Structure 1
Amino acid sequence: MKKRTIATLLALPLAISTAYAQDGAGFPSVKISGFGTGALTYADTDKAEFARPNQASGSSKDFRTGIDSNLGLQADLPVNSWLSFTAQGLVRRDAEEGYGAELSWAFAKAKLSDNLSVRVGRIGLPVFMISDYRNVGYANNMLRPPAEVYSQVPFNSVDGADITWQHGFGDTTVTSQLAYGSVKAPLPGNIHARGKKLAALNISAEHGPFTVRAGHATGEITISDSTSLNTLVGGLRATGAGYKFPQLVTLANEIEPKEKRATFSSLGLSMDWNNVVVQTEFAKRKTKAYINDTSAWYVMGGYRIGKFLPYVSHANLKIDGAIVNTVPAACPAGYPAACTPTVQTLRAGVSRLPNSGVGQGEQSTNTIGVRWDFASSVALKAQIDRVKPKNGTGLFLAAQPGFRDTVTVGAVALDFVF
C-alpha cells in the first residue's frame, strides 16, 4: 500500500476529532503513538543471504540497515466509553527490495461489557505468542523473533472480525480470542498468498510472572501470480496426459496451491520472575499443497542485571513432510526422444519446490545477545546468531549450489517507542 494512502488513513481519526471539536461536541482527541527500530545487520558469508522471513534480499558479507529496521505509527480515537477506532501503519522491507508501507491495523472496537469486546476491520492474526507486537522491537527482549518459528505463517493480519473475552479467576486472568476473515499478502518474486475462511483461536492465562498460551488457526491458502509455479503445474498435467503418466496429473493437483487447507497450531510459555526471563514456543504447520509440513520451536533465557538483560536462545525448524517427487528420471524405451528431457526438467522443478516460495528448509540457530535499557522508552540491543542449515539451504536466500555453511550473523539495534 502506498505511503500516501496510509498517511490518509492514519490522519482520518484526527480529522474526525477536529471536526467534532469545531462543532463543540466535546469529542475526545486522537492519540498518536509509534515505535521503531534502527538496526545494522551483517552476515559472514558471500554464498547466501541472511534475511528476515518474507524479505526479498538480505546481507551477504555486507552491512544492511533494512533487515531489522522499521517504523510504525498508530492513531487511536476513543469515541465514547464503549467505541473506539484504531489505525496503524508500518514502514519496513517486506517482500520487495526497498522499503514499503503497509496498513497493518485498521479497526473499530466495541466494548460490549467489562469482559467482552469485538473488533471489526483489519486486525492482527493471533497465531503467535507475540502476534500483536512482533514488529515492535522495544516490546521484545530479543533483537528479532526466531525465524524458525515466525517464518511458518506469511500472514500478519486478517480482514474480518474478532471477539475477545477476558475474565479473572482469583489471581489468574484468562483471555480467549476468536478471529475470522480473509487476507492477501505479498511474497518475494511479485507473487501473493491469499487466505480465505481463516479462523484463529487464541487462549492465554496469566498468573503473576507466568503466561501460558495456546493457539490454532485454519484456512484455505492460495499462492497466485507465480509464473514458474503455474508453468510447472501446467507442464506436469500436459506431460502426464500426453505421455500417459497419470501420476504426474495427480502430482500437479497436489502441488497446485489453490484453496488448499492449511492448519497451524502453537503453544507458548513465558516467565519474568526475580530477574529471570524465560520464553518458549512450539509450533506445527500442516498444508495440503506443496508447502512443507513443519515443526519448529525455540527457547530463550535471560537474567536482568540492573538495566542490562543478557540472554541466550536456541531455535530449530524441522520438515515433517513434503511433496513426493513421482516424476520418473527417464522415459521407458520406445517413448519419443523428447520425453526424457521433458520429464527431467519437470523432476528438477519439483525437487526445487521445498526451498522456494514460501517453502522452507530445515535449520537451527544458537543466539547470544544483550539488551540495555539506557533511557526511558529506548533500548539498545546487540545480538550474534550462529545459523546452521540442515538438509538444504535453510531459510537463506540466493544460496549458491552446494551451500551448507554455518553462518554467523551480527546485529545492533536501537529500539524506541513514543
Structure 2
Amino acid sequence: MNANIASLRIAVAVFSMLGCAAALAGEDTPRVTIGGFGTLGVVHSSEHQADFTANALNPGDAGASRDWSATVDSRLGVQLGVIVDSKWSAVLQLVSERTLRDGYAPVVEWANIQYQATPDLSLRVGRIALPLFLTGDYRKAGYALPWVRPPVEPYGAIPLSNSDGVDVNYRWHIGDVNNVTQLSLGRTELSLAPGAHAQARGLAGLSNTTTAGALTMRASLLTADLSVDIARSLFDGFREFGAQGEALVERYELSSKRACVASLGFNYDPGQWFAMGEIGRMNSRSYLGDKTAAYFGAGYRFGDLTPYAVYSVSRANMETSVAGLDVRRLAAAQAVTAAQLNAGLNQLLAAIPRQNSVTLGLRWDLYPNYALKFQYDRVTPLHGSTGTLINVQPGFRSGQPITVLSAALDFVF
C-alpha cells in the first residue's frame, strides 16, 4: 500500500473517532489549535565518494551527489490539535521532508486520539511516536534541539519514529521525583523503493521517563518482528549454493527476525548550561547488525548564544567481514558467482556503522521562535567501515576523517 494513502486513511479514521467522541461528550465546538515547525538547512561534506545523511530513510545528498545540499535537514511540519473536553483529544501532524521514494510529499507523522482516563492515566490509539531516545518525541522539530540534528550514530541507527497501534501512559511520583511510564503496541510499514519494503510487526515498547529537578532520564526497550527485503536478490543467489548458502541466508537475511533496541539517556539542564548523553544497543540478528552507539554533549548559554560540543561513537558487536561461500571446490563459473555474492554480503556488513564523530556548534536565538545554528562535524568511519554514509562509490577510502559543515534556521509557529 502506498505510504501516503495509508497515512491518509489513518488520519481520516482518527478524526472520525474524534467526531464520535465529541458527540458522546455533547460538545458542539471543540477547541482547535494549529502550529508547526520547520528547518531550512544546508550541508557540505568534504567526502566526494559518498553522501552524508542524518538517517538512511531521509537521505541527504551532500558529498558525492552535491557539493552543498539542502536535503539533509530541511523539513516542514504542521500540527493540528483538537480538544473535545477534559478527557478526549486528538492530534494530527504532517511532515514534509526528503524521503527515499516520495521526495518531499507530506507524510502523516502522528495521527492519534487520546482518552484521559484519570489525571495520571491516558490511552492513545492511532499513529504514535515511538518511545525511543531522549528526543524521540520531538526529534524532527529542530528548534527544540540544541544541535542542528540529533547525533547520527544512535539516531540514524533507528530511523523509525512512529508506529500504528495503541499506547498507555501512566504518571507516578516518589516524593519530588516524577515518572511517566509508557507501554506501546503496534506495527509500522515503509516503502523503501519500488518492490522493496520494510515491516515491523508485533512491535512492543516500554519506556520510563524520570524527572527530578533539572535532571531528566529516559530508559526504553523496543522489540519487533522485522523484515526488510531490499537485499532479496542477494540472498536468493545464496540459496542456489545448497546448505552453505542456506546457512548464510539464515544468519544474515532480514526476514521475520526479532530485533531489539535498548537505550538509556540523561539530560541535566539547570539553566545556564546543559549536559546530556545516551547509549543504545540495537540487534537485528541480520546484516543490519548488532551495534552499540553513544554520545555525550554539553553546552553553555551566553544570552542568546549557545556554543556546544558533542562526541559520538558507534561500534559493531559482530564480525563485519566474513569468508562467505567456500569457492575452492566450485567450478569456475560458480566460483565467480559465489565471489560476487560474498562481496555483496561483505558490502552490507561494511555498512554497519563503526565511526567516531566530534561536533562543535553554535546556536543563536536571534528572534523569538527562531534559532540560527552553525555546526562543524569531524566524522571518521573506522577502517573497513563506511560508517553512516550512503551512496558509497568505488573510490571511497575508509579510515579518513571527513569534514561536514552545516547551517540551519529552525523555527516554530
Q: Which amino acid aligns with 2:49?
A: K
1:288 positional shift:
2.0
Which of these residues, 281, 295, 300, is aligned with residue 298 of structure 1? 295
Among candidates 360, 373, 383, match of residue 381 of structure 1: 373
Structure 1 position 390 matched with structure 2 position 382? yes
Q: Say which SS state the counterpart of residue 253 (structure 1) adopts.
A: helix
Taking the TM superposition and a 5 Å limit, the aligned residue runs for 1:216-365 are: 216-224=221-229, 226=230, 229-240=231-242, 246-322=243-319, 325-332=322-329, 335-355=330-350, 359-365=351-357
2:184 counterpart of 1:179 = yes
Residue 86 of structure 1: CA displacement?
Answer: 0.9
For the residue of structure 1 that corresponds to 2:147, the secondary structure is: coil
Q: Secondary structure at the match of 1:273?
A: coil
1:189–1:390 CA distance, 2 compared to 1 (3 A)? farther
How far apart, in 2, do the equivalents of 1:44 and 1:387 lie?
10
Pair 206,4 (structure 1): closer, same or farther in 2 beyond 3 Å: closer
- Return the alpha-carbon distance in structure 2 between the equivalents of residues 295 and 189 of structure 1: 31
Change (3 A) 1:138 1:105: same
Following TM superposition, the consecutive aligned residue runs of length 4 or more in structure 1 with deviations greater than 6 angstroms are none
Q: Shift in Å at residue 65 of structure 1?
A: 1.2
Flag the 1:129–1:180 CA change in 2: closer, same or farther, 3 A: same
Shift of 1:386: 0.6
2:58 paired with 1:58: no
**For residues 11 and 112 of structure 1, what CA distance do their matches in structure 2 show?**
21
Q: Which residue of 2 aligns with 1:199?
A: 204
Kept in 1: contact 2:283–2:291 (CA 8 A): yes
Identity, % of aligned positions: 31
Among 141, 145, 151, the alignment partner of 2:146 is 141
CA contact (8 A) 1:42 1:409 kept: yes
Cα deviation for residue 169 of structure 1 reads 2.4
Classify the secondary structure of the residue corresponding to 2:266.
strand
Contact preservation (8 Å) 2:235, 2:249:
yes
Q: Kindly indicate whether the alpha-carbon contact (under 8 Å) linking 2:60 and 2:71 is maintained by their aligned counterparts in 1.
A: no
TM-score normalized with structure 1 length:
0.89
Q: In the alignment, does 2:79 pair up with 1:86?
A: no
Assess, with a 3 A threshold, how the Cα gap between structure 1 residues 416 and 10 changes in structure 2: closer, same or farther: farther
Letter of the 1:193 partner, please give it: A
- Does residue 409 of the first structure (1) align with residue 409 of the second (2)? no
Higher mean displacement: 385-394 or 50-59: 50-59
Which whole-Å CA distance do the structure 1 matches of 2:282 and 2:376 have between them? 28
State how far apart, in whole Å, the 2-side matches of 1:360 and 1:100 are.
Answer: 29
Quote the Cα distance in structure 1 between the aligned partners of 2:227 and 2:320: 17
- Preserved CA contact (<8 Å) 2:10 2:126: no
Q: Is the Cα contact below 8 Å between 1:74 and 1:89 reproduced in 2?
A: yes
Letter in 2 for 1:398: N
- Alpha-carbon offset, residue 326 of structure 1: 4.7
1:374 CA displacement:
1.7
Map of 1:400 onto structure 2: 393
- Give the conservation status (yes or no) of the 8 Å contact 1:118–1:161: yes
Contact 2:10 2:127 (8 Å CA) reproduced: no
- CA displacement at 1:336 relative to structure 2: 3.4
Matches within 5 A, 1:144-183: 144-183=149-188
The amino acid across from 1:343 in the alignment is: A
SS of 2:248's partner is: helix
1:39 aligned residue: 41
SS of residue in 2 equivalent to 1:176: strand
Instruction: Report Cα offsets for 1:226-269 as digits up to 9, x if no partner.
Output: 2xx222212211122xxxxx222111122221110110000001
How many angstroms apart in 2 are the aligned matches of 1:265 and 1:2? Answer: 30
Quick one: structure 1 residues 383 and 189, their matched pair in 2 at CA, closer, same or farther if it must change by over 3 Å?
Answer: farther
For residues 236 and 87 of structure 1, what CA distance do their matches in structure 2 show? 44
**Inter-CA distance 146–301: structure 2 relative to 1 (3 Å threshold):** same
Aligned partner of 1:393: which letter?
T
* Cα deviation digits, residues 280-321 of structure 1 (max 9, x gap): 000001122221100000011001111111100100011111
Q: Unpaired segments of 5 or more residues in structure 1?
A: 241-245
CA shift, 1:6, in A, is 5.5
SS in structure 2 of the partner of residue 129 of structure 1: coil
Aligned to 2:126: 121
| 8 Å contact from structure 1 (residues 255, 323) kept in 2 | no
C-alpha separation between the residues in 1 aligned to 2:38 and 2:271? Answer: 29
**1:403 partner amino acid:** R
Contact kept? 1:297, 1:315, Cα under 8 Å:
yes
Asked if structure 2 preserves the Cα contact closer than 8 Å seen for 1:56 and 1:96, the reply is no
1:372 and 2:382 matched: no
SS of 2:137's equivalent in the other structure is helix
How many equivalent residue pairs?
401
Aligned residue identity for 1:87: L
The normalised TM-score by structure 2 is 0.90
Further displaced range: 284-293 or 258-267: 284-293
- Measured after TM superposition, the shift of residue 330 of structure 1 is 2.4
Alignment of 1:3-14 (within 5 A): 9=11
1:74 aligns with 2:66: no
**Pair 1:379–1:50, CA change in 2 (3 A):** same
